[in-house]
Amino acid sequence: MIRFKKLSCALGSAIQVFAFASSGEAAFDVTLWNLSTRISQHVDGESLFDREDIVDISNPLDLNSLAQLGPNAAAVEYDYAWLRHQASGSFNTSITHAIRDPHVRPVSRGEITIVPDEDIVVAVDASMSYSHTPGDEYALLFGFSIRDVTANQWLYQEVRYGGNLFLLPSAGVLDIQRQDILMAGRTYRLDYVLDDDNTSDSLPTGILDASGFLNISIVPEINTACLLLPATLFLLRKPRRAASPRP
């Protein structure tokens, strides 16, 4: 009887996933975003600035964005796509920052607002490598957060720091891995940022390079149960045996 109940539960989960994916009802969508690439420099009392914003939602989005001041640059590659009726998607962002002059600050930031009609799983895999001339006052901030807009509260915030200005190594890797379940019927905002600069250094003598990625994947929460189905069927089919004592 116990095995029959477990099998029914597993098969029921698989049937629910199939029905959910084929129902034709929107289960997850992007309602708003603001993707920005910008760079600024302050020289002899003058402020220089370049910026590119992406606000029009496009599915899929396959685009390169660049903000540049001379040899200093912030470049971002977007590879976004999602399936509304299957509550799944991927938002892959590659970021490269280069500083070659004094008092430069490149910033790459994204705000993606989503509304799930069904519970979904959001997984984040991010890694940023950086290096700058040792002894220079360079600072890096690499972060990701999830905000429950409906409840007006942060669900998750994670920030990684690097650079001599923070009394941290002049080279390293900043990693973020995270997985959360977002509930249906609420509005969420996914935020990421890479912010680095040498604006505090009076006489920077070297360079800074930072490059990496922040990938967000979304799947229906019910798929978590579905992934257990093959293993469950195997365990139900295979007779249990007591472990033999070692000689």
Which pLDDT score is estimated for 179?
96
- Average pLDDT (131-160) is 96
Q: Has residue 228 got a pLDDT over 90?
A: no
In the prediction, which pLDDT does 188 show? 98
Q: What percent of the chain has pLDDT over 90?
A: 72
pTM of the model: 0.81
| Mean pLDDT score of the chain | 85
For 165-212, the pLDDT digits (tens) are 999 999 999 999 999 999 999 999 999 999 999 988 777 788 999 999
User: What's the pLDDT tens digit per position in 19-34?
Assistant: 444 444 668 999 999 9
How high is the pLDDT of residue 110? Answer: 98
Domain definitions of the chain by residue range: 25-222
Mean pLDDT of 130-139: 95
Residue 9's pLDDT is what? 45
Q: What is the pLDDT of residue 205?
A: 82
DSSP string, the chain: -HHHHHHHHHHHHHHHHHHHHHS----EEEEEEEEEEEEEEEETTEEEEEEEEE-S--SSEEEEEEEEETTEEEEEEEEEEEEGGGTEEEEEEEEEEEE-SSSEEEEEEEEEEEEESS-EEEEEEEEEEEEE-TTS--EEEEEEEEEETTTTEEEEEEEEEESGGGT--SEEEEEEEEEEEE-TT--EEEEEEEEEE-TT-SS--S-EEEEEEEEEEEEETHHHHHHTHHHHHHHHHSPP-PPPPP-
